[in-house]
């Protein structure tokens, strides 16, 4: 009886790092390889050495005496570009082994060595064979190391086959690491100390823009990635690995630092990266540690020490600490920095922009604008650089907050074009500028123009930071807000609930309330008035209590809560409710004819007097001042030039008139006379052109009173007007 024998598949073999060095020595040493790419080495050394046996270099080594010492089951797969200098690849793997405590006996699957270079035929016919070779090697090793060169714009992530290897590492749940040559590591350690280096690196990496020598290879690879993983998840994995590697490298630099200045430098650098990643508490702790070194071990003339102090103030601003907490830090540290570096120094101007941003966040936009204008005047006298356009971006953003929409849009357009040139279209600052340009469109009623910009920003943010990152959730919230304005409430609701859950999970109450405000606005848009009133009332109350009335979200929620209450059948049905809202509007500077509710979508000026909302558009989305609607040259941004309009009076006037009706209905004539005097004074003060007729006599018959109240009630109804043809 014969026993059937089964052959077990052989594991993918590689060559040890020790052999990589032996290979170089056997073929003339480093001088012979100087300047040669991996492709050059293949053609000059690998193919001639293996031509007679017609095998891979791995198989050739294995067939030699003691070859088993070098040709072993592969432990790692190396991802590289054939255009890389071969010695750089070897050096990167040397550094990688040193970093991960791996010996030179570690075996690597390297395609130039592992594949039979003589069996490669027509590239189109080799596609499936290459796919299977890479897959088998990665299944066997379970680990992939990608060589990055240059570190900030790696060639590997511009090649579709390397992108495919990253894709495989995801679907096979393989470990993924990166490696840099010594020269690239040196460049990294210098570059990482500049503010934008990591964000610029992220902006350069986009796997869906990778290329292949054979176009059909790229198409097939992209189909595989799109069907199973998606480019966003693929890039996210790369970013996560790179970020882990960056912080691990900086931690090692801190541990190896022997001088106080070196320890300060690496702790400071690490803290800046944490700040840019929105990890404010960790960043603050890092800056505190750096400042401790500065104060205890470094000279007072060491400018970065004062810079670190200013960054502590910045982290406190970002955590919404009170102005009295962070302003003294800026007042004491900035003059020292400016004295040491000079007023036009790039670091001085950058930190001044940070300080101006603090005043912007605390709603002191007038002071912020003055500081930005000073910086802009300085930068315009200097050679053009990225900081010029960052200042333009901040200046335009501040103008936007001050309701100077047309000026803001002009500056933001210039800033965006410049940031695209200097930082790239997908850099974080460029995208933030584009986002504020979208806000300018939103605040002038151009919602359809804003939506694709916000969608692009959100997708890019999710790719760079992940969908659950605070930055991405903020962008999703902005996108959802425009969906509400366009009437796409069901889509908006899904996104807004996701935002609320995300902000609650991160314990960011300001942003949580902003997303809940948009949800309340969505209920108002849908006509769900009870839910709108409850939601907007809750947002206003919590916003007022936690942050005060100066924030836009607080004021907007109050206005929209008022709109919902006006439309409810029993909205303002009692004096107590009217008085309560009057007190609220007094507390939020909404006690006159000027609204703190955006600007007219035609003239871009704040509203004075009645607002005319287009009733053809989504409710309360497109709005114009009464002067523009009455103008002969009026052209509605929405295209509905002739309305019809829903005309809404300023809240305080409406509430005074409503109070008069309620008092008259209750026959409380003494109170009526007092409120009537207030109403006349109000109309005189604000020059109201068409005030409500106030009753003079208290002894009219019930019939006359009833008729008068009916007339007065009609005057209080929100009027729908159709503009007459000229």
**Hey, CA dihedral for 344, 347, 348, 351, is it positive or negative?**
positive
Confidence (pLDDT) at 125: 60
Domain count of the chain? 2
Is residue 257 within 8 Å of 266, Cβ to Cβ? yes
Q: How many residues does the chain have?
A: 726
pLDDT band for 123, please (50, 70, 90 cuts). Answer: low
Domain span holding position 55: 13-194+207-230
Strand order in the sheet with 76-79: 71-73, 13-16, 107-109, 76-79, 143-147, 175-179
Answer whether residue 277 is part of any domain: no
Confidence (pLDDT) at 518: 98
Answer whether residue 375 is part of any domain: no
Answer whether residue 509 is part of any domain: no
Confidence (pLDDT) at 700: 47
Q: Rounded to the nearest 10 degrees, what angle do helices 197-204 and 231-256 cross at?
A: 150
Answer whether residue 345 is part of any domain: no
Tens-place pLDDT, residues 59-82: 999 999 888 999 999 999 999 999
Nearest to 454, CA basis, from 508, 421, 491, 502: 491
Confidence (pLDDT) at 7: 46
Is residue 372 within 8 Å of 394, Cβ to Cβ? yes
Is residue 454 within 8 Å of 482, Cβ to Cβ? yes
Helix, coil or strand: residue 214: coil
pLDDT band for 224, please (50, 70, 90 cuts). Answer: confident
Identify the weakest region by mean pLDDT among 39-43, 201-205, 720-724. 720-724
Look up tokens 């007065």; give the residue.
712
Identify the weakest region by mean pLDDT among 17-31, 186-200, 335-349, 577-591. 186-200
Residues 469-495 as b or e (16 or more Cβ within 10 Å = b): bbbbbbbbbbbbbbbbbbbbbeebbeb
Q: What are phi and psi of 701, to 5 degrees?
A: -70, 160
Confidence (pLDDT) at 122: 55
586-589 own/partner pairs: CB under 8 Å, 24+ apart: 587/544, 587/549, 588/544, 588/549, 588/554, 588/555, 588/558, 589/549, 589/555
Within 8 A by CB and 6+ apart from 44, the residues are: 36
Q: What are phi and psi of 146, to 5 degrees?
A: -105, 130
Helix, coil or strand: residue 619: coil
Answer whether residue 660 is part of any domain: yes
Answer whether residue 641 is part of any domain: yes
For residues 700 and 717, give the distance between their C-alpha atoms in angstroms, rounded to a whole number. 24
Is residue 399 within 8 Å of 414, Cβ to Cβ? no
Residues 683-702 as b or e (16 or more Cβ within 10 Å = b): beebebeebbebbeeeeeee
Confidence (pLDDT) at 124: 57
Residue by residue, DSSP assigns 47-103 as: HHHHTTTTS-HHHHHHTSTTGGGTEEE-SEEEE--TTSBHHHHHHHHHHHHHHTT--
Answer whether residue 647 is part of any domain: yes
Burial category of 341 from C-beta neighbours within 10 Å (exposed 0-12, middle 13-18, buried 19 and up): middle
CA distances (Å), 316 to each of 122, 155, 281, 561, in order? 62, 39, 9, 32
Strand partners, 175: 143
| Arithmetic mean of pLDDT, 183-208 | 86
Look up tokens 């008085």; give the residue.
579
Identify the weakest region by mean pLDDT among 149-153, 357-361, 503-507, 671-675. 149-153
- Cα angle, residue 447 at apex, residues 423 and 619 outer, rounded to 5°: 150
Within 8 A by CB and 6+ apart from 595, the residues are: 559, 606, 607, 608, 611, 650
DSSP classification of residue 12: P
| Arithmetic mean of pLDDT, 622-643 | 85
The residue with greater pLDDT, 451 or 701, is: 451
Cβ count within 10 A of residue 100? 12
For residues 628 and 226, give the distance between their C-alpha atoms in angstroms, rounded to a whole number. 50
For residue 357, how far is the Cα from the chain centroid?
16
Cβ count within 10 A of residue 209? 12
Strand order in the sheet with 645-648: 623-625, 611-614, 645-648, 719-721
As a three-state string, the secondary structure of 119-159 is: CCCCCCCCHHHHHHHHHHHHHHHCEEEEECCCCCCCHHHHE
| Arithmetic mean of pLDDT, 202-211 | 85
Answer whether residue 356 is part of any domain: no
CA distances (Å), 385 to each of 204, 301, 663, in order? 19, 27, 65
pLDDT band for 530, please (50, 70, 90 cuts). Answer: very high
Percent of the chain with pLDDT over 70: 94
| Arithmetic mean of pLDDT, 573-597 | 92
Residue 706 has pLDDT above 50, yes or no: no
pLDDT band for 366, please (50, 70, 90 cuts). Answer: very high
Is residue 692 within 8 Å of 657, Cβ to Cβ? yes
pLDDT band for 696, please (50, 70, 90 cuts). Answer: low
H or E element, residue 298: none
Tokens in use for 409? Answer: 């849009």
Residue 721 has pLDDT above 80, yes or no: no
Residue 48 has pLDDT above 70, yes or no: yes
| Arithmetic mean of pLDDT, 465-478 | 92
pLDDT band for 725, please (50, 70, 90 cuts). Answer: very low
For residues 644 and 544, give the distance between their C-alpha atoms in angstroms, rounded to a whole number. 35
Residues 272-308 as b or e (16 or more Cβ within 10 Å = b): bbbbebebbeebbbbbbbbbebbeeebeeebbbbbbb
- Cα angle, residue 518 at apex, residues 517 and 519 outer, rounded to 5°: 90
Tokens in use for 513? Answer: 């309330």
How high is the mean pLDDT of the chain?
90
For residues 203 and 200, give the distance between their C-alpha atoms in angstroms, rounded to a whole number. 5
Nearest to 391, CA basis, from 416, 363, 372, 365: 372
| Arithmetic mean of pLDDT, 349-367 | 94
Is residue 575 within 8 Å of 418, Cβ to Cβ? no
Confidence (pLDDT) at 384: 84
For residues 582 and 435, give the distance between their C-alpha atoms in angstroms, rounded to a whole number. 35
Tens-place pLDDT, residues 306-337: 999 999 999 999 998 999 999 999 999 999 99
Tokens in use for 23? Answer: 């290979």
Nearest to 81, CA basis, from 197, 198, 183, 165: 165
Percent of the chain with pLDDT over 90: 67
Tens-place pLDDT, residues 545-574: 998 887 889 999 999 999 999 999 899 999
Confidence (pLDDT) at 232: 87
Strand partners, 108: 15, 76
Residue 643 has pLDDT above 80, yes or no: no
Residue 234 has pLDDT above 80, yes or no: yes
pLDDT band for 590, please (50, 70, 90 cuts). Answer: confident
- Cα angle, residue 144 at apex, residues 142 and 150 outer, rounded to 5°: 175
Task: Tally the C-alpha atoms within 13 A of residue 722's C-alpha that lie toward its C-beta.
Answer: 3
CA distances (Å), 466 to each of 166, 224, 266, 463, 469, in order? 17, 21, 26, 6, 5
């Amino acid at each position: 009886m014969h026993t059937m024998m089964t052959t077990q598949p052989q594991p993918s073999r590689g060559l040890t790092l020790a052999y990589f060095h032996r290979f170089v020595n056997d073929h003339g040493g480093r001088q012979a390889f100087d300047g040669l790419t991996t492709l050059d080495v293949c053609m000059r050394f690998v193919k001639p050495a293996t031509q007679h046996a017609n095998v891979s270099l791995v198989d050739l080594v294995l067939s030699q005496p003691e070859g088993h010492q070098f040709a072993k089951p592969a432990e790692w797969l190396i991802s590289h570009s054939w255009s890389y200098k071969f010695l750089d690849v070897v050096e990167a793997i040397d550094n990688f082994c040193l970093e991960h405590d791996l010996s030179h006996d570690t075996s690597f699957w390297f395609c130039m060595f592992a594949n039979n270079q003589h069996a490669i035929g027509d590239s189109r016919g080799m596609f499936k064979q290459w796919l299977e070779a890479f897959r088998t090697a990665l299944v066997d090793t379970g680990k992939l190391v990608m060589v990055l060169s240059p570190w900030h714009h790696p060639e590997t992530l511009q090649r579709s086959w390397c992108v495919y290897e990253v894709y495989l590492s995801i679907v096979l749940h393989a470990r993924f690491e990166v490696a840099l040559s010594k020269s690239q590591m040196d460049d990294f350690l210098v570059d990482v100390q500049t503010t934008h280096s990591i964000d610029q690196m992220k902006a350069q990496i986009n796997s869906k823009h990778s290329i292949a020598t054979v176009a059909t290879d790229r198409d097939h690879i992209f189909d595989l990635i799109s069907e199973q993983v998606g480019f966003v998840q693929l890039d996210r994995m790369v970013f996560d690995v790179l970020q882990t590697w960056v912080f691990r490298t900086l931690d090692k630099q801190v541990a190896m630092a022997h001088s106080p200045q070196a320890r300060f430098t690496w702790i400071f650098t690490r803290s800046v990266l944490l700040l840019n990643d929105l990890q404010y508490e960790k960043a603050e702790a890092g800056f505190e540690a750096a400042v401790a070194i500065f104060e205890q071990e470094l000279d007072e003339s060491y400018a970065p020490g004062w810079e670190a102090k200013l960054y502590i103030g910045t982290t406190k601003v970002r955590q919404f600490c009170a102005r009295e907490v962070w302003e003294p830090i800026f007042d004491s540290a900035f003059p020292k920095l400016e004295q040491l570096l000079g007023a036009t120094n790039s670091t001085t101007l950058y930190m001044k922009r940070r300080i101006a941003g603090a005043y912007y966040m605390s709603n002191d936009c007038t002071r912020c604008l003055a500081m930005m204008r000073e910086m802009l005047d300085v930068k315009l006298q200097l050679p053009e650089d990225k900081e010029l356009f960052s200042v333009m971006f901040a200046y335009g953003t501040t103008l936007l907050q001050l309701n100077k929409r047309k000026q803001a849009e002009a500056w933001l357009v210039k800033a965006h074009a410049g940031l695209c040139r200097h930082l790239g279209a997908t850099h974080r600052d460029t995208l933030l500028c584009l986002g504020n340009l979208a806000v300018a469109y939103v605040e002038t009623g151009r919602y359809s123009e804003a939506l694709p910009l916000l969608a692009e920003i959100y997708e890019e943010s999710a790719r760079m930071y992940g969908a659950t990152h605070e930055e991405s959730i903020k962008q999703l919230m902005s996108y959802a807000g425009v969906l509400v304005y366009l009437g796409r409430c069901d889509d908006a609701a899904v996104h807004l609930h996701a935002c609320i859950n995300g902000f609650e999970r991160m314990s960011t109450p300001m942003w949580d309330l902003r997303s809940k405000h948009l949800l309340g606005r969505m209920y108002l848009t849908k006509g769900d008035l009870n839910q709108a009133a409850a939601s907007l009332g809750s947002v206003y109350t919590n916003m007022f209590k936690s942050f005060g009335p100066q924030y836009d979200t607080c004021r907007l929620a109050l206005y929209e809560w008022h709109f919902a209450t006006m439309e409810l059948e029993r909205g303002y049905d009692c004096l107590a409710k009217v008085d309560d809202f009057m007190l609220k509007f007094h507390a939020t500077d909404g006690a006159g004819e000027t609204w703190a509710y955006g600007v007219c979508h035609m003239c871009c000026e704040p509203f004075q007097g009645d607002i005319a909302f287009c009733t053809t558009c989504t409710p309360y989305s497109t709005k114009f001042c009464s002067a523009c609607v009455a103008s002969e040259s009026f052209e509605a941004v929405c295209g509905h030039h002739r309305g019809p309009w829903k005309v809404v009076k300023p809240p305080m006037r409406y509430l005074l008139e409503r109070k008069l009706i309620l008092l008259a209905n209750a026959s409380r004539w003494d109170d009526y006379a007092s409120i009537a005097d207030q109403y006349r004074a109000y109309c005189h003060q604000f020059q109201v052109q068409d005030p409500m007729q106030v009753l003079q006599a208290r002894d009219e018959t019930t019939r006359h009173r009833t008729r008068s109240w009916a007339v007065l009630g009609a005057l209080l109804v929100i009027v729908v007007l159709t503009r007459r043809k000229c």
